[in-house]
Amino acid sequence: MGYAVMLLLVFLCHEVSSISILPHKHQTISLLKFKQSFPIHPSAVTCYCPKPHPKMSSWNTSRDCCSWDGVVCDGITGHVIELDLRCSGLVGTIDSNSSLFQLSHLQRLDLSFNYFSNSHISPEFGKFSSLKHLDLSYSYFSGQIPYEVSHLSKLHSLRLSYNSIRLDPQNFEMLLQNLTQLRELDLTFINISSTIPLNFSSHLTTLGLEYTQLYGLIPESIFHLPNLEKLSLAYNDQLSGHFPKIKWNSSASLITLDLHGVNFSDNLPDYIGYLTSVRYLFLSDCNLRGPIPESISNLTRIEYLDLFNNSLNGTIPSGVFSLPSLTYLNLGSNKFSGQLEDFKANSLISINLRDNQLQGHLPHSIQNQVNLTWLRLSFNNFSGRVDVSLFSNLIQLWHLSLSYNNISLTNDNNVTLPESLVELELATCEVKELEFLRSANQLEYLDLSNNKIEGRIPDWAWSNWNFLMRYLNISHNMLMSVESIPLQSLDTIDLRSNLLQGRT
Ligand SMILES: *[C@@H]1O[C@H](CO)[C@@H](O)[C@H](O)[C@H]1NC(C)=O
Ligand SMILES: *[C@@H]1O[C@H](CO)[C@@H](O)[C@H](O)[C@H]1NC(C)=O
Ligand SMILES: *[C@@H]1O[C@H](CO)[C@@H](O)[C@H](O)[C@H]1NC(C)=O
Ligand SMILES: *[C@@H]1O[C@H](CO)[C@@H](O)[C@H](O)[C@H]1NC(C)=O
Ligand SMILES: *[C@@H]1O[C@H](CO)[C@@H](O)[C@H](O)[C@H]1NC(C)=O
Ligand SMILES: *[C@@H]1O[C@H](CO)[C@@H](O)[C@H](O)[C@H]1NC(C)=O
Ligand SMILES: *[C@@H]1O[C@H](CO)[C@@H](O)[C@H](O)[C@H]1NC(C)=O
Ligand SMILES: *[C@@H]1O[C@H](CO)[C@@H](O)[C@H](O)[C@H]1NC(C)=O
Ligand SMILES: *[C@@H]1O[C@H](CO)[C@@H](O)[C@H](O)[C@H]1NC(C)=O
Ligand SMILES: *[C@@H]1O[C@H](CO)[C@@H](O)[C@H](O)[C@H]1NC(C)=O
Ligand SMILES: *[C@@H]1O[C@H](CO)[C@@H](O)[C@H](O)[C@H]1NC(C)=O
Ligand SMILES: *[C@@H]1O[C@H](CO)[C@@H](O)[C@H](O)[C@H]1NC(C)=O
């Protein structure tokens, strides 16, 4: 439809329905011109958007623009104050001459999850002087974030994550310095390549700076932002830091702390115990050393505790096993020693203690973790008899690994591992017979190497494994024959060092 025709339609429509207030007419034209600049291809962006909803397809002059999908007007002035076109399947560019920039009263603008074909973020965005919320994330912008974004001094939230854009370090400072009302800043995946400036607004509640190529030392003042609820500096491998040696101002408000990959080369401070609101604590790959402080037992709301791949040592304090809301515990690849305490809470879904120096018996309380899905205990010094009944009631169990300890797997009660198992690693567990695998008919990964399995693999096992098994390792056993190898989905099979004769 030509522009003149469209204008006429708009005009006529407004004459007829007598809602022809001046701002409406201009706004309607601006919005329709904006619509026109995008041929709509919802399918082009479905990889990010679960359900693209082409809101603009309902935009036409049969209704007042203030009632269009995604458009909100001020009740008194009639100005368009909100435009929400998130996940709308927009494909095209937004140039500086776009009619979008005529909507000068916007307070909220959400263009996230569209496909703007690597167009630059126009300096014109800086002219939305009333804007409080701007979301351009996941939308295929490229180039630099323009200096003019710092003009948006009323912004409460700015989300620019997941675009291939850069932010000049000086503009980063300027932005922080000028946007004094900012509560939420999400720059995830934007290339900033600078040190972290000091100019953060004390209103900040959410700061997302993961994958931003930041380097240098984290300024301690970040931990003292008094209202901070979520801080992510993860995946900036040139970043290092020190935990504050005094109580953090933000400790009562922090819910998520993600410092994955930041080099602390430090002990976890006792003050971690003041993070009483924290639910997600991600400190993997942080070069942490020393023990977990006893004060960890203060974190009664914690759900995710991830300390994977550090050099933490000593015994795991008993408080860890009593955290009432803990669902995900990852202490793998550290240097923990000593025995495990009994689990006092039953909320765990994932336990990873792999690759430490833990010893002694496995606690009986594992059998009470009814929601347990992942249990990784390989590469430790656990010892003694471990009975299959410890795991037989864990009906959600998907992954179990006990390899490379000093345990003997027994089956005194003639029970079976749960049917839900998909990955099972039992290398060097003194396994003699396979009866405990009778129910496990969904296995895709099975390591039974270095055990004491004799004779032949039973027929029921081959039929269990027929359709799904991808990796099967029964090397280093005492098998005499292997009859029915042709498993349909097998990638890898290892039969070395058995007593096989004849046909294999
Ligand atoms: C205008 O949009 C409405 C939905 O908002 C739709 O029902 C109607 O068919 C559309 N009219 C035209 C002419 O496209
Ligand atoms: C807007 O500018 C682009 C180039 O920057 C040009 O191709 C386009 O025709 C212009 N659109 C209008 C409506 O002026
Ligand atoms: C920063 O804010 C001040 C006061 O609102 C304003 O005068 C100045 O132009 C702003 N600077 C930038 C770069 O936006
Ligand atoms: C940011 O803060 C630092 C230190 O407080 C100050 O020197 C610098 O001028 C500030 N930057 C801007 C752009 O105001
Ligand atoms: C990030 O930007 C800097 C310069 O601004 C550049 O040297 C570097 O290669 C960029 N990194 C990536 C991953 O794009
Ligand atoms: C935060 O803590 C620091 C250091 O203890 C202190 O100097 C500062 O005044 C505190 N800021 C706020 C806003 O509470
Ligand atoms: C971490 O920091 C320490 C001390 O500053 C340094 O010796 C070490 O090499 C750093 N590690 C990495 C992986 O950068
Ligand atoms: C544990 O939290 C309480 C307040 O809930 C606090 O008084 C105590 O000092 C904290 N302990 C540690 C070691 O952080
Ligand atoms: C463990 O962390 C170090 C950095 O501290 C990193 O270089 C290494 O790749 C990490 N290992 C694993 C298995 O993630
Ligand atoms: C923990 O490691 C430190 C070195 O980082 C060492 O001095 C200390 O003795 C170790 N503690 C235990 C219990 O192994
Ligand atoms: C197990 O998970 C279910 C569903 O998420 C939940 O309702 C239940 O409380 C969990 N059990 C325990 C002991 O946490
Ligand atoms: C173990 O139980 C199965 C049935 O669940 C039974 O067929 C088998 O004979 C039992 N084996 C022993 C040694 O009791």
Contact 270, 246 (CB under 8 A): no
Lowest mean pLDDT among 6-20, 42-56, 302-316: 6-20
Q: Which of 5, 9, 62, 64 to mutate to test ligand 1, by most ligand atoms within 8 A of the CB atom?
A: 62
Q: Mean pLDDT across the stretch 353-373?
A: 96
User: What separation in Å is there between the alpha carbon of 329 and the centre of ligand 11?
Assistant: 16
* 371 C-beta closer than 6 A to ligand 11: yes
**Which pTM value belongs to this model?**
0.89
* Ligand 10 binding residues, C-beta < 6 A: 289-290, 313-314
Q: Whose CA is nearest to atom 11 of ligand 10?
A: 314
Q: Is the dihedral of CA 248, 251, 254, 255 positive or negative?
A: positive
- 361-504 is classed CATH 3.80.10.10: yes
User: What separation in Å is there between the alpha carbon of 14 and the centre of ligand 7?
Assistant: 68
423-442 residue pLDDT tens: 999 999 999 999 999 999 99
Q: CA dist 180 to 154, 174, 228, Å? A: 8, 11, 15
Q: Is the pLDDT of residue 470 over 60?
A: yes
280-307 residue pLDDT tens: 999 999 999 999 999 999 999 999 999 9
Res. 107 pLDDT band, cuts 50 70 90: very high
Tell me which DSSP letter residue 128 carries.
-
Q: CA dist 6 to 31, 78, 388, Å? A: 12, 21, 74
* 97 C-beta closer than 6 A to ligand 1: no
191-230 residue pLDDT tens: 999 999 998 989 999 999 999 999 999 999 999 999 999 9
Query: What pLDDT score does 138 carry?
Result: 92
230-262 residue pLDDT tens: 999 999 999 999 998 888 878 889 999 999 999
- 1-204 is classed CATH 3.80.10.10: yes
User: What separation in Å is there between the alpha carbon of 102 and the centre of ligand 3?
Assistant: 21
Q: Where are the domains of the chain?
A: 1-204, 361-504
Lowest mean pLDDT among 169-173, 358-362, 483-487, 494-498: 483-487
Res. 40 pLDDT band, cuts 50 70 90: low
User: What separation in Å is there between the alpha carbon of 333 and the centre of ligand 4?
Assistant: 41
Q: Mean pLDDT across the stretch 381-406?
A: 97
Nearest to 457 by CA among 438, 483, 488: 483
Topology match between the domains 1-204 and 361-504: yes
Amino acid found at 296: I
* E-strand stretches of 192-260: 206-208, 215-217, 230-232, 238-240, 256-258
Ligand 10 atom, smallest distance to 315 CA: 13
The DSSP element (H or E) to which 460 belongs, if any, is helix 459-465
* 154 C-beta closer than 6 A to ligand 6: no
d(CA 124, CA 98): 9
